[in-house]
Amino acid sequence: MQTIKIGDIVKTRYNSGTYIGEVLEDRRNFLLVKILAVLEHPAQGDLHNPGQVEGVAFHERKALAFNEKMNARKRDTEIFEGEVPDYANSLKNALNTIKQKLKDENSEFGRLSLSRIQDLEEHYYNKIFQESL
């Protein structure tokens, strides 16, 4: 198991997303991590009933924001090797990846997830993309 220290750049999961961040504090079983980039956009829908659209609460999940702090489980965290990408570009890449996956899935779940992601893009992410220009 890797020893992670304050100041290390890590890759970690939170809910269903994957992020790169900087460790700010050790909190026993958790690490306080400041978000620097998005590797995988969080999934939409009910995490306990993946792929379901009927009879479930279909949640809309946006990616954690740049510099947002979160408690990462130590068991879900590892040292990140490589250059940290720009937040806006990493978010755009993560969005394009999940959108393509959902389009390829061609299911009711995929279409509903895609519509939620497009809403996030329109009402939240486009502002981030414009600010980064």
Cα–Cα distance, 117 to 114 (Å, whole number): 5
Strand partners, 35: 21
Question: pLDDT tier at 15 (50, 70, 90 boundaries)?
Answer: confident
Distances (CA, A) of 101 to 12, 33, 40, 62, 82: 21, 28, 12, 17, 25
Give the pTM.
Answer: 0.90
Cα–Cα distance, 90 to 12 (Å, whole number): 15
CATH homologous superfamily for 9-131?
Kinase associated protein B domain (2.30.30.430)
Q: Express each pLDDT in 106-132 by its tens digit.
A: 888 888 999 999 999 999 999 999 888
